[in-house]
Amino acid sequence: MGKNIINVTDQNFNNEVLESELPVLVDFWAPWCAPCRMIAPIVEELANEFSGKLKVAKLNTDENFETATKYGIMSIPTLAIFVGGEVLDGVVGAVPKQILKDKINSILLKAATKIN
């Protein structure tokens, strides 16, 4: 896992994601999931590109089924963008980097507009 990606669990999800001052992209994944492995390098690139503006977290759904269940994760990978403790956007499946980047930029623009 890259230096700009944190590992979240059922135990630290509230603190790391829901209470985060920054928007958080959460990658719900599992080690056996081929599409999850395909999208992992893209998630890492985004973590580096948006460092300081966006927190990027990975949650292993096999080990943390309580959180995955709470958010209705039925398919993986699911990438959800949390702002202020709520899911504002996301995608299911391995999607092109530009789609994720556009969603992140949209969320960051909305967040900046609310602050100013």
Catalytic residue list contains 38: no
Catalytic residue among 8, 25, 33, 40: 33
pLDDT of residue 116 exceeding 80: no
Domains within the chain, CATH numbers bracketed? 5-115 (3.40.30.10)
Quick: pLDDT tens for 21-41.
999 999 999 999 999 999 999
pTM for the whole structure = 0.94
pLDDT at 1 (0 to 100): 64
Structure-token pair, residue 62: 């096999």
Catalytic residue list contains 33: yes
Which residues lie below 8 Å from residue 76, measured CB to CB, with a gap of 6+?
A: 28, 29, 30, 33, 35, 36, 61
Catalytic residue among 17, 36, 57, 59: 36
Quick: pLDDT tens for 46-97.
999 999 999 999 999 999 999 999 999 999 999 999 999 999 999 999 999 9
